[in-house]
């Protein structure tokens, strides 16, 4: 009998894939904003990381609300 999320290696693989994609997206977004001079002078990578965390949480929340 399988659990709701699937087997443990599958769940870990999906989580690691999501995490690596998240950091790749954040890094690309940071460099694009930096090259276009759209970031405030005192912002660093961690500010963009915080914004993408908020976006990911909002997307998860909206997805759960629409179920």
Judge whether 28 lies within some domain.
yes
pLDDT per position as a tens digit, 41-59: 999 999 999 999 999 999 9
Q: Find the angle CA(13)-CA(44)-CA(26) to the nearest 5 degrees.
A: 30
Judge whether 12 lies within some domain.
no
With 60 as the cut, is the pLDDT of residue 39 above it? yes
pTM (predicted TM-score): 0.81
Judge whether 49 lies within some domain.
yes
d(CA 18, CA 64): 17
* Residue 48 CB-density burial (10 A; 0-12 exposed, 13-18 middle, 19+ buried): buried
Split into its structural domains, the chain has a count of 1
Domain membership of residue 50 as a residue range: 23-66
Q: What is the pLDDT of residue 51?
A: 96
Average pLDDT over residues 11-18: 93
With 50 as the cut, is the pLDDT of residue 1 above it? no
Q: What is the pLDDT of residue 20?
A: 97
Q: Give the model's confidence band at 5: pLDDT under 50 very low, under 70 low, under 90 confident, else very high.
A: low
Judge whether 48 lies within some domain.
yes
């Amino acid at each position: 009998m399988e659990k709701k999320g699937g087997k443990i290696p599958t769940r870990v693989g999906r989580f690691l894939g999501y995490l690596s994609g998240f950091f790749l997206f954040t890094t690309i977004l940071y460099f694009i904003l930096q090259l276009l001079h759209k970031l405030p002078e005192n912002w660093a990578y961690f500010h963009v990381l915080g914004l993408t965390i908020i976006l990911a949480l909002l997307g998860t929340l909206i997805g759960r609300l629409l179920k």
